């Protein structure tokens, strides 16, 4: 077990800056996800922690020890590759015991650990099979087992679920969480799937162009995104964005957009009262828009908008509605299965003013953070 500290890290491939002045602290036993679109440098960072890529500049500490120049063989960490990288000519047993053999563990200890890990990961009766003879989910577990038997201080996982089908992915992610709880190891998990990141990790480091956009608990990332990028990347369906500016009407400050004059909660209203005319980018999550059916829940901070339901997409437990105002502005929102909406129907919807995200269009930063 160990904590990982990264200080002002740089990495370049030729002239392309992959990682730029990156700082990251991961606590002992924490499950941290590096989240971001492909090509944002998250896998590169993982490979640098593993020692497969040299560090151009900056420092990497594990357990307080400088790791920059420690060869990958001597780093007490393990990595599961996206491809699983099982050795194709070795049986499951030989794959799992590979690292222990290299480390020259005694036969009895090797057997003990092997037994432990195949019980932990339900790999019994597969030990004599070759990788090509087992399923994708089993391969993923073998790859994990091979890493866990070495008792690494830090476990690096590079998109371990991306090659599994949807159903298997859920099981496997639950299993990973269970293992993390059981073993309490520090886990650094790389993914581009925000749902995985939200459900599994204790903290998420959101990457963009080799820098960390926001590093916080999943809930915080969702509830108060620090930047427009965070707001866009986290949450599904995607947030609605409207350009506008602060205006004062009837002695109440709000944001004038193409969609409507958006009201905020009282506290934030007070703050923006002092900045009329300021340009704003307002973000509205599809989940914070309500339909007339919820009239009872109306608050004075709700903004009323009249729309035409152009498209209703049934998603089973809920539906996504794409609405258009008379002026032609689009808004996407979610309704529950009880609230039936017919396509091409005119209706009133209400936007929850307490949960509108307010960004500066130039700095892209959340004004209220």
Partner 1 sequence: MIISKQSPISISRRMLWFTGIICALVIVIGPVYLLLKYSVSDINSINTGGNPVPMWPYNPTLQAYVYLFSDSHFYQVLLNSVVISLFTIALGMILGIPASYVLGRYKLPGRKVLLLMIISVRLFPDIASVIPVVEFFIKIGMHQTYLGVILAHTLLALPYIIFIGAGAFESIPDDLEGQAIILGANRFQTFFKLLFPLAMPGLAAAAIYTFLLSWDEFIFSYFLMLGKQEIYTLTLYLNGIKYAEPQNLLAAISVCLSIPVIAFSFMVQKYMVAGISAGSVK
Nearest to 12 by CA among 205, 210, 152, 199: 210
What are the CA-CA distances from residue 112 to residues 120, 145, 147, 190 (Å)?
12, 13, 15, 30
Query: 4-63: which residues touch partner 1 (CB under 8 A)?
Result: 47, 50-52
Strand 261-263's sheet: what is its strand order?
Answer: 261-263, 252-257, 240-249, 279-284, 356-359
Task: Choose, by CB under 8 A, the member of 14, 64, 88, 316 that binds partner 1.
Answer: 88
85 binds partner 1 per the rule CB under 8 A: yes
* Of residues 88 and 328, the one with the C-beta less far from partner 1: 88
* Selected range binding partner 1 among 11-19, 78-86, 171-179, 226-234, rule: CB under 8 A: 78-86
Least distance CB 312 / partner 1 (angstroms): 38
Whole-angstrom distance, CA of residue 12 vs CA of residue 57: 10
Paired tokens of 292: 């007339």
Contact 193/206 with Cβ under 8 angstroms? no
Paired tokens of 316: 């089973």
Length of the chain: 369
87 binds partner 1 per the rule CB under 8 A: yes
CA angle 24/28/30 to nearest 5° reads 75
Query: 178-237: which residues touch partner 1 (CB under 8 A)?
Result: none
* Of residues 131 and 244, the one with the C-beta less far from partner 1: 131
- Give backbone dihedrals phi and psi of 343, rounded to 5 degrees, phi first: -60, 150
Task: Choose, by CB under 8 A, the member of 10, 61, 98, 241 that binds partner 1.
Answer: 98
69 binds partner 1 per the rule CB under 8 A: no
Query: 144-173: which residues touch partner 1 (CB under 8 A)?
Result: 146-147, 150, 163
Whole-angstrom distance, CA of residue 55 vs CA of residue 52: 9
328 binds partner 1 per the rule CB under 8 A: no
137 binds partner 1 per the rule CB under 8 A: no
78 binds partner 1 per the rule CB under 8 A: yes
Task: Choose, by CB under 8 A, the member of 130, 311, 320, 367 that binds partner 1.
Answer: 130
Under the rule (CB under 8 A), what is the footprint of partner 1? Answer: 47, 50-52, 72-73, 75, 77-79, 81-89, 98-99, 102-103, 130-134, 136, 139, 146-147, 150, 163
């Amino acid at each position: 077990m160990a904590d990982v500290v990264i200080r002002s890290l740089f990495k370049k491939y030729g002239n392309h800056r992959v990682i730029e002045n990156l700082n990251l602290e991961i606590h002992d036993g924490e499950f941290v996800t590096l989240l971001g679109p492909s090509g944002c440098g998250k896998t590169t960072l993982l490979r640098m922690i593993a020692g497969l890529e040299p560090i151009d500049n900056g420092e990497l500490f594990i357990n307080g020890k400088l790791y920059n120049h420690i060869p990958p063989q001597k780093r007490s960490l393990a990595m599961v590759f996206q491809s699983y990288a099982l050795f194709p000519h070795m049986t499951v047993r030989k794959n799992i015991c590979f690292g222990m053999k290299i480390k020259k563990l005694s036969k009895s200890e090797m057997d003990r650990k092997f037994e432990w890990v195949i019980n932990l990961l339900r790999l019994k009766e597969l030990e004599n099979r070759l990788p090509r003879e087992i399923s994708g989910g089993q391969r993923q577990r073998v790859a994990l087992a091979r890493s866990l038997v070495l008792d690494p201080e830090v476990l690096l996982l590079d998109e371990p679920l991306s090659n599994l089908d949807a159903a298997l992915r859920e099981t496997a992610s639950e299993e990973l969480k269970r293992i993390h709880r059981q073993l309490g190891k520090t886990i650094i998990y790389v993914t581009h799937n925000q749902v995985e990141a939200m459900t599994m990790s204790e903290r998420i480091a959101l990457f963009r162009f080799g820098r960390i956009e926001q590093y916080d608990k999943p809930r915080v990332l969702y509830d108060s995104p620090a930047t427009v990028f965070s707001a866009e990347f986290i949450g599904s369906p995607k947030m609605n964005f409207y350009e506008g500016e602060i205006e004062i009407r009837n002695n109440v400050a709000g944001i004038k957009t193409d969609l409507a004059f958006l009201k905020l909660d009282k506290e934030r209203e007070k703050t923006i009262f002092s900045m009329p005319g300021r340009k704003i980018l307002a973000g509205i999550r599809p989940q914070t828009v309500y339909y007339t059916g919820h009239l009872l829940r109306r608050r004075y901070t709700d903004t009323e908008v009249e729309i035409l339901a152009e498209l209703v997409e049934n998603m089973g437990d809920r539906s996504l509605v794409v609405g258009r105002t008379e002026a032609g502005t689009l808004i996407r929102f979610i309704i529950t299965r009880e609230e039936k909406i017919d396509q091409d129907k005119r209706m009133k919807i209400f936007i929850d003013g307490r949960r509108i995200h307010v960004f500066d269009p130039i700095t892209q930063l959340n004004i209220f953070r």
